[in-house]
Each structure stands twice: as C-alpha cells, then as structure tokens.
Amino acid sequence: MGERVVAVVQVRQAAAVDPAELRAFVKAWIGGVEAPKEVLVWDDLPRSEVGKVVEPEIRAQLLRA
C-alpha cells in the first residue's frame, strides 16, 4: 500500500492562501513527482509544550478524516 504526499500548512493571521496556487509553486521548484498531491490549510497545527509541530498527531488526524 502506498502513501500520497499531503502538505498541511498554517498561515499567519490575515494571510490568504490558495492551495492550488501553493501546490503549483512547489511543483515548479521540486517537480511533479515530489510535490504534494494535496495542500490543506489548517488554522492551528498540533504543537508540543515547547512549540514544535507534532507530526504523528497530524498523521493521525488525516487518517481519521
């Protein structure tokens, strides 16, 4: 079973992000194979007590969806 690349981003307040435009930008820089197939914009990313992004929690949330 394969995995697909998904980017989860959090933007600063008052910033507007078009997921399709962001994906196209990344695709131009690193190529179509490595670019995320989907870009999700979240209001808040799960963080540890010291402020680091908790990637396993992101994966868990994506798998539950």
For the stretch 1-60, pLDDT in tens is 567 889 999 998 878 889 999 999 999 999 888 899 999 999 999 999 999 999 999 999
The pLDDT of residue 1 is 54
Confidence of residue 61 (pLDDT cuts 50, 70, 90): very high
Does any domain span residue 1?
A: no
Does any domain span residue 45?
A: yes
Contacts of 22 (CB under 8 A, 6+ apart): 7, 9, 39
The pLDDT of residue 62 is 92
- Identify the CATH number of the domain in which residue 14 sits: 3.30.300.30
Does any domain span residue 48?
A: yes
The pLDDT of residue 15 is 82
pTM (2 decimals)? Answer: 0.80
How far lies 13's CA from each of 38, 46, 51, 55, in Å? 22, 17, 18, 22
Domain span holding position 37:
6-64
